[in-house]
Amino acid sequence: MATPRESLIPNSTQVPNVLLDLVIPRLPSPEHGMVLLYICRRTFGFGKKSDRIGLSQFVKGIKSKEGQQLDHGSGISLSTVRRVLEDLEAAGIVLRTAGKNGVSNGYRINLSIEPEEAVRKAQASFDKRSTTRKASRKQPTLFGANNPVPLGSRVFPGNTPPCSTEGQGTLLPRGTTQNKGNQGKQSIAGETPAPSRFKEFLKWYEDLATRTRSLKLPLKVTAAGQSNLGKFLQKYKPEWDLMEQLALYFLVDPHYRQFSPGLETFLSAGIMNGLLNDASNREDFWKKVDGYVVRYLRTGEPAESMSEQQRKHIATSVAELLAGMKAPAVTVPE
């Protein structure tokens, strides 16, 4: 019969003592240690210095080709994994390995770290993001706190339901409608009853936020979010297609994923102004939007980019909305 010591040697993973003794206990959260240990398992546990680990593997683990569950990942959500990896990389504890086109999901543990410095940098990265998120919750709204818009008011432009997939799922250009009897007519604020349009957008936003942010519980738009949306639409009268694309970009793009997915956050002055400036100034903004639409909204359909005419309509919407807001330019960091 094998002794206890001998029985522990096979099928084991080496974890450097410096991580167990001086780093993991002092990281900003238990989740940081869980992700770090999973990287140890996927690298040192298989006799490797580095390994390609997909984000889905961090979250759900790995299955064999036959469907057998080989491991259960780190046991934490996708959004948390992203934030934790950001901190560990900023601290130099985890290093990315080079890949094709400069993009890689390969990770390795840096065994040359200085523990005190690494822990300090990890905490600094964590604190910086926490401060940013708190600030976003305190963002001034784009409208006054008084006179909320009742759901029954007729203030919403256009006849396009949120994220229509009719006609190959293309997003309609500014000022057009889907109703056959109204084709070619300009949108007029108030020409369509508000409640159904308003509720459709809220339901679409809740579903999209839940899916794209991998939320464990379905997102429910708060009363404050509903009121803010009504006031925003009444004051600025944006087109529905523009609102949908800005919301999609906010929920999916890596930079904005650090912020709460709540509708009130999306409509805050800093976030909305940053999104509009991105749409107006970043060359890759609409290309990224195309990719997000194909990935999250057009399942089973071929990729189809907006026409040049549609882009011009959207660009006009962005310019008009920015001008109407009269808010100072905001440069969103890369």
Beta bridge partners of 23: none
Contact, 119 vs 91, CB < 8 A?
A: yes
Does residue 150 have a pLDDT over 90? no
Using alpha carbons only, give the angle 200, 206, 211 rounded to the nearest 5 degrees: 125
Q: pTM of the entire structure? A: 0.43
Hunting for tokens 């410095």 — which residue is that?
A: 117
Tell me: the pLDDT tens digits for 192-239? 335 677 888 999 999 999 999 988 889 999 988 898 888 888 888 887
Q: CA 209, CA 132: separation in Å to the nearest integer?
A: 20
Hunting for tokens 């004051």 — which residue is that?
A: 235
Q: CA 294, CA 301: separation in Å to the nearest integer?
A: 8
Contact, 104 vs 52, CB < 8 A?
A: yes
**Burial environment of residue 115 by CB neighbours within 10 A (0 to 12, 13 to 18, 19 or more):** middle
Across the chain, mean pLDDT equals 74
End-to-end CA gap in the chain: 59
State the SS3 of the chain: CCCHHHHCCCCCCCCCHHHHHHHHHHCCCHHHHHHHHHHHHHHHHHCCCCEECCHHHHHHCEECCCCCEEECCCCCCHHHHHHHHHHHHHCCCEEEECCHHHCCCEEEECCCCCHHHHHHHHHHHHHHHHHHHHHHHCCCECCCCCCCCCCCCCCCCCCCCCCCCCCCCCCCCCCCCCCHHHCCCCCCCCCCCHHHHHHHHHHHHHHHHHHHCCCCCCCCCCHHHHHHHHHHHHHHCCCHHHHHHHHHHHHHCCCHHHCCCCHHHHCEHHHHHHHHHHHHHCCCHHHHHHHHHHHHCCCCCCCCCCCHHHHHHHHHHHHHHHHHHCCCCCCCCC
Tell me: the pLDDT tens digits for 81-106? 999 999 999 999 999 887 665 556 68
pLDDT-based confidence at 152, cuts 50/70/90?
Answer: very low
Tell me: the pLDDT tens digits for 281-321? 888 888 888 888 888 876 444 444 556 666 666 667 777 77
Contact, 172 vs 164, CB < 8 A?
A: yes
- Residue 21's Cβ-side half-sphere holds a number of Cα atoms within 13 Å equal to 4
4-17 average pLDDT score: 73
Residue type for position 303:
A
Domains present along the chain, CATH in parentheses: 13-132 (1.10.10.10), 180-325 (no CATH)
Lowest mean pLDDT across 3-12, 16-25, 125-134, 144-153: 144-153
Contact, 248 vs 207, CB < 8 A?
A: no
